[in-house]
Chain A
Amino acid sequence: MAEAMAVKTTEGWVSERLRRMVATPHELHATSIRGGTLVLIIVAVLFVPHFAEFGNLQSIMYSLAAVGIGAVGMALVTLSGNLFMLSMGATAAFSTVVFASLISLGLLPTMLLVVAAGTLIGLIQGVLIGAADTNPIITTIAAASMITGFGVLWTGGITVVGHGQATWLGFGRVFGLIPNQILVMLIFAGIAGFVMQKTRLGREIRLIGMQRDVARVAGLRLIAATMFCYGFAGAAAALAGSLIASSSAQGNLTYGIDLDFNAIAAVLVGGVSIRGGRGRVGDAVVGAMFLSIIGNVLLVSGVSYEYQLVVKGAVVLASVIIGALLGQWAPRLRRRVGAAR
């Protein structure tokens, strides 16, 4: 029997891979959005004037980086079965202020301190939600209010101007092509993806998110998993805040405050299931890409910001509706694919 498993033809592997891509609603959704992003890029390159210009592609990447990192953090919370963390925007905004205040220490120490602070803020919420079993939405909304409140107390509500060098992060590029911010996002997403797919903790998080009661009887580490997700999401928000602050070396409690919605939108559009446990970190990054490109296409086509907001909301709504419909169709599809085997 062992041989039967080990010897798998390439063809068998491909068909298994294909089956996986459509086997469940969220996988079907994620596969569609990956295809959709590709189609969107091709169409935009061919038909949208100025889209494929160097400067425009750069600006897409800059708009993507912070949101992409936020989406990765949000994806962990969603995968752990706790819906969304609604204090990410506040944490990011607070982090821009901390970043600007500390930047005189140098870029690397500043980033480390900012991310450490964000992790701590996230961990505290994780303890409340994981150990004290408080409602995740309410807890994070309350935390957002407190974070913003402390921020205003500290800064007096004005913009903090940093005195130091943040240009590596703000403007630096690899080979003059890819912004360092995108590099940071890719590394961050890579770490998160590795943790979620390859490590014991990641698998525990996914299984707990999938069915909490089963996980409890199976003896999985519920509290540790929840704390890790919120700590990681807090770190993500802080890192996103650092990116935002670095371009102007300034911090303000309104910068990055919309990270909550953008990250949630990316998670939803990317096809991570809000039921928890189903989906990948990469899906959220693809969702963020899709939204950034749509936004950019509207921008270079001269559509006003108000309409961009309307379209962004419509895209999120559409993806939720499609997700719900796939949830109804997928069992039938799965049966058909299963029967074909």
Chain B
Amino acid sequence: MTAASLSHKPATPVLAARDLSKRYGGIMALQSVGLDLGAGEIHGLCGENGAGKSTFIKILGGLVRPDSGEISVDGRPLALGQRTDPQLISIVHQELAIVPTLSVLDNIMLGMGGTSPFYFAHLVRTQVRQGLDEVGLAHIPLDRKASALSLAERQLVEIARGVARRARVLLLDEPTATLSDAEIKRVFDTARLLRDKGTALVFVSHRLDEVFALTDRVTVFRNGQHVLTERTSDLTSRDLVKAMIGRDLVRGTQKPLSVAADRPARLAIAGLRCGDALKPIDLALAPGEIAGVVGQLGSGADVLVEALAGLRGLVDGQIAIDGRAVVIGSVRDAMKAGIAYVPEDRAGKGIFLDAPVWMNLTASVMGRFSRGGVMQRAAERERGLELAAMFRIDPGRLGSEVATLSGGNQQKVALGKAAALTPRILILNEPTRGVDIGARSEIYATLRRLAEQGLAILFYSTDLEEVLELADRVVTIFRGEVVRSIGRDALDGGEILHDILRGRDDTIVLTQ
């Protein structure tokens, strides 16, 4: 019954997930993966973005119904695709589910069924307090309004909710992304206490040092497939990185551009800061260069690209384009300065789903095709055809609603809409999220061609393979600061991961 790759088989699995598969359109998000979890075990779950972790977690929580497979808790099978009883499997999500106007206690009790139609906070109070004290969360104030808590404290409340439910399986999805070191230690202590009481824990994290510090066993997913399950102590961090990003990692096939140091910068940023998210950042981008900014969730790398696109309002610091200082306080400012932006959330921010392709392509440049306010459709159509040819969009589909296109073609439309501005700098946030392999390489080729014509491209991506494939230079960011700027010749996936996970602090050595 147990997968052959298991080196250590728990006697009675608390959680047994077998053969789970899920297909979204043409993409296999999960391909018959399984996981066995014993009582009193902390199990790490690792994998890059798109590896299938989130789908797996959603299936466990009953939010997604798998195409095949089964899950049982303590030997009893779960009804798949229905909300899972939180006393069996409780999930602490990455996105915070806290109601700011309620007290901490009320937040912890949210969604706790019980049989009474009434809820009296004072009746459960002692019980919850005791439960939290037992696992080292004594410092959490039950009566404070959630809105008065810091982001990290809210994360702890979220964890406390999972604890208070006394679930058989507690799943923590990147619980430490927003926490400081002291708070991380607290979460770890809690996790260990729960383990010792017999709870089975799944710990999802990108931070390798945490995986090694906390987990007993670790499972790696890659591209929707199960890659390995091993005792953590039998692995080195190098093994783990390799398993996550794949052994046969192919570097980009395009020839690297030699960027002369004396070329004037297309984009020069000095001392850019944005609230707490970005400490003063310096960055330069040459014409024809494709640079990737890389960082963990909460590192500020995504804030940087949004600030340049004018989505963060006025930010401190100097921005110069081709030597001329510009002020960017809005999207229209950025566009006027020659910056075009493709957001990460295609359906929500990037394209008008119910509008035809041609209308999307010219949406940001309508002013160029209007005479006395009236749109000149002939000129617009001509431009639409040009852009379609540039991004290899079927010209016969120009009149179709974008919603009817595949994800890859939708992304091409989003890119075409930005390219229509004929910008000097193109900024991309997750350039190919949810795009299939074929369209992905087409998009890379087009971006490379645009760069060769002198466009400067800056992109943010959480997909390491994409970064290695596309970037001439990688700028790693850790907690709002630039760690390093690595040229193409020296690019190495392990080093990038190291930079964004640990910053300049060299406590784990990946090249042992």
Which residues of A come within 8 Å of B, CB atoms?
1-2, 4-5, 16, 23-24, 198-201, 203-204, 206-207, 210-211, 213-220, 277-278, 334, 338
Contact = CB atoms under 8 A, between A and B. Distances in A.
A207 to B, nearest CB: 6
Contact of B375 (A203, A213, A217, A219): A203
A23 to B, nearest CB: 7
Interface string B359-384: 10001101101100111000001100
Given A1-B385, A219-B332, A207 B359 contact: yes
A214 B373 contact: no
Given A199-B373, A200-B373, A217 B395 contact: no
Given A199-B370, A200-B367, A200-B373, A214 B350 contact: yes
B355 A5 contact: no
A337 B349 CA distance: 28
A223 to B, nearest CB: 12
Among B311, B352, B401, B417, chain A packs the most CB atoms within 10 A around the CB of B352
The list of the 5 closest CB pairs from A to B, nearest first, reads A200-B370, A219-B331, A1-B395, A200-B366, A218-B364
Contacts of A5: 381, 385, 395-396, 398
17 contacts: A1-B388, A1-B389, A23-B401, A199-B374, A201-B373, A210-B352, A211-B353, A213-B349, A214-B350, A214-B351, A217-B311, A217-B341, A217-B349, A218-B364, A277-B352, A278-B354, A338-B404
A204 B373 CA distance: 11
Given A203-B375, A210-B355, A214-B352, 14 more contacts: A4-B396, A198-B374, A204-B366, A207-B352, A207-B363, A211-B352, A216-B331, A217-B309, A217-B311, A217-B343, A219-B332, A219-B335, A278-B354, A338-B404
Contacts of A16: 399
A289 B373 CA distance: 31
Contacts of B388: 1
Contact of B363 (A198, A199, A220): A220
B471 to A, nearest CB: 24
B275 interface: no
B164 to A, nearest CB: 36
Main secondary structure of the interface of B (DSSP, over half): helix
B438 interface: no
Contacts of B25: none
Contacts of A218: 331, 363-364, 417
Interface string B188-199: 000000000000
Contacts of B353: 210-211
A207 B355 CA distance: 8
Interface in B332-356: 332, 335, 341, 343, 348-355
Contacts of A2: 382, 385, 395
A113 B507 CA distance: 77
A215 B399 CA distance: 20
A215 B370 CA distance: 18
B359 A24 contact: no
B240 to A, nearest CB: 37
Contacts of B375: 198-200, 203
Contacts of A207: 352, 355, 359, 363
Contacts of A206: 355
A214 B395 contact: no
A24 B401 contact: yes
Contacts of B374: 198-200
A203 B366 contact: yes
A232 B358 CA distance: 28
A205 to B, nearest CB: 12
B306 to A, nearest CB: 10
A201 B370 CA distance: 10
Contacts of A213: 348-349
Interface in B213-248: none
A251 B322 CA distance: 64
A188 to B, nearest CB: 18
Nearest to A20: B399
A218 to B, nearest CB: 5
A315 to B, nearest CB: 26
Nearest to B346: A214
Contacts of B381: 5
A204 B364 CA distance: 10
A214 B354 contact: no
A31 B343 CA distance: 36
A82 B501 CA distance: 45
A103 B398 CA distance: 52
A199 B377 CA distance: 10
Contacts of B350: 214, 217
A277 B354 contact: yes
B395 A334 contact: no
Nearest to A211: B352
Contacts of A338: 404
Contacts of A216: 331, 349
A80 to B, nearest CB: 14
A133 to B, nearest CB: 15
Contacts of B364: 218-220
A4 to B, nearest CB: 6
A211 B352 CA distance: 6
A246 B80 CA distance: 67
Given A5-B398, A207-B363, A220-B363, A24 B354 contact: yes
Contacts of A220: 363-364
A218 B367 CA distance: 12
Nearest to B336: A219
Contacts of B396: 4-5
Contacts of A24: 354, 401
A307 to B, nearest CB: 39
A23 B400 CA distance: 10
A190 to B, nearest CB: 14
A200 B373 CA distance: 6
A24 B370 CA distance: 28
Contacts of A204: 366
A4 B381 CA distance: 13
A276 to B, nearest CB: 10
Contacts of B363: 207, 215, 218, 220
Interface in B301-340: 309, 311, 331-332, 335
Given A217-B349, A219-B364, A334-B404, A203 B359 contact: yes
Given A5-B395, A203-B359, A207-B355, A214 B401 contact: no
B112 to A, nearest CB: 33
A203 B362 CA distance: 11
Interface string B395-417: 11011010010000000000001
Nearest to A194: B374
Contacts of A217: 309, 311, 331, 341, 343, 349-350
A274 B341 CA distance: 30
Contacts of B395: 1-2, 4-5
B397 to A, nearest CB: 10
Nearest to A213: B349
Nearest to B332: A219
A156 B381 CA distance: 58
A216 B348 CA distance: 11
A209 to B, nearest CB: 10
B34 to A, nearest CB: 34
Contacts of B417: 218
Nearest to A338: B404
A87 B467 CA distance: 54
A278 B354 CA distance: 8
B354 A210 contact: yes
Nearest to A208: B352
Contacts of B341: 217
